[in-house]
Amino acid sequence: MKKSEVGSRKSEVGSPKSEVRKKSEVGSKKSEEENNSAPDSYRDEYPTSETKKELPTANSKLPTETMEVHHHPEVEKKGFKQYFLEFLMIFLAVTMGFFAESIREHVSDREKEKDFMRSMVQDLQADTAALHAGIKDFKGVFSAADTLLTCLKSDKPDGDIINRVVSHRFWIYTGYSYNNRTIQQLKNSGNFRLIQNSRVTDSIVIYDNYQNGIMLTQYNDLKNTMYAYKDIEARAIHYKELQPSKFLKGAAFSLTDFAPTKKPAFITADKELISLYYNRVYIHEQLGRLFIINMKRAADWATRLIAFIKKEYHLQDE
């Protein structure tokens, strides 16, 4: 060993740093021995790495975290003019929306009104056709009734004529009605308000009242007078002498449907009963003539109402 190395070791041993190093090594060995001698639970709860850390003291500073500070943005104060402009914009937006909705409802209501008028025209056209057909039928009925009355005035009524008339027009009333589909829809749903043309509304109401108040009421009266004279007829006429009419099977009336007979037309000689029969038939015939007049008026009214509605709602080409 060289002298220089020996000298350096001596210098290290003699220096105070070497003594401190030895003491620290001895302390670390003791701590390891103490740690090894400690129970297992203690070692598990406090690992070696943690026991070596310094415990905080009262004088030590606790670690602090830096906190973010959120600053509220500075809001620029609005003046009266800005508030007024915002209010004005909101007001205009709401107003325009209201006007747009009103315009949409107006367009929708006008289209519904026109649809109702189209339907009304169709109902009136059906009424017109039915009324003209009814006028033709009732003219034949009351022409036969007039013939029967003329025959009953004779001292010796012709049985053939009476049997022919009674057979052909034995039961002629099957009912009367008009097409009130659209009017009922307008009434029940409250949609009469959609018809802005007051003259059209008035005309429709008058026509409806005429049909309900005049035509239907008069038809029921006419039917009741028919029941009244049929009650007397059943006690005065030989029904067994009546011949079935082809008219009831869909064919037109023909004089050849009835064979001539010499048997008397009446089953009674009671002149008062025959006179009562004449009176009941006469009442029925006169009421029937009036009914035909009213049917003509209703048909004329319906025709004019069709033309008026088409003109007001520009439905001429439909």
Tokens of residue 27, six digits: 């302390």
Tokens at residue 79, please? Answer: 């003046």
Where b means 16+ CB within 10 Å and e means fewer, 173-196 reads eeebebbbebbeebeeeeeeebbe
Note the pLDDT tens digit of each residue in 209-258.
999 999 999 999 999 999 999 899 888 887 776 665 554 454 444 445 44
In the predicted model, is pLDDT for residue 108 greater than 90?
Answer: no
- In the prediction, which pLDDT does 65 show? 57
Q: How many CB atoms lie within 10 A of CB 268?
A: 14
pLDDT band at 73 (very low <50, low <70, confident <90, very high): low
- The Cα–Cα gap between 243 and 148 comes to 17
Q: What is the pLDDT of residue 164?
A: 77
Question: How far apart are the C-alpha atoms of 141 and 152, rounded to whole Å?
Answer: 17
Residue 6 has pLDDT above 50, yes or no: no
Instruction: Please tell me the predicted confidence (pLDDT) of residue 56.
Output: 55
70-104 CB burial, b ≥16 within 10 A, e <16: eeeeeeeeeeeeeeeeeeeeeeeeeeeeeeeeeee
Output the six-digit token pair for 224. Answer: 């009741």
Q: Does residue 54 surpass a pLDDT of 60?
A: no
DSSP state at residue 75: P
Instruction: Band the pLDDT of 263: cuts 50, 70, 90.
Output: low
Mean pLDDT of the chain: 76
Q: Is the pLDDT of residue 20 over 80?
A: no
Closest of 125, 177, 193, 152 to residue 279, by C-alpha: 152
Would you state the pLDDT for residue 183? 93
What are the pLDDT digits (tens) for 116-168? 999 999 999 999 999 999 898 888 888 888 888 988 888 788 777 887 787 77
Instruction: Enumerate helices (H) and strands (E) in the chain, giving the number of each.
Output: 10, 0
DSSP string, 126-174: HHHHHHHHHHHHHHHHHHHHHHHHHHHHSSS--HHHHHHHHHHTSS---
Percent of the chain with pLDDT over 70: 66
Which residues on adjacent β-strands are paired with residue 237?
266
Give pLDDT, residue 72: 61
The answer to whether the Cα torsion of 229, 232, 234, 238 is positive or negative is: negative
Residues 6+ apart with CB under 8 A from 273: 232, 235, 236
In angstroms, the Cα distances linking 109 to 82, 103, 121, 193 are 41, 10, 18, 10
Strand-pairing partners, residue 266, are 237
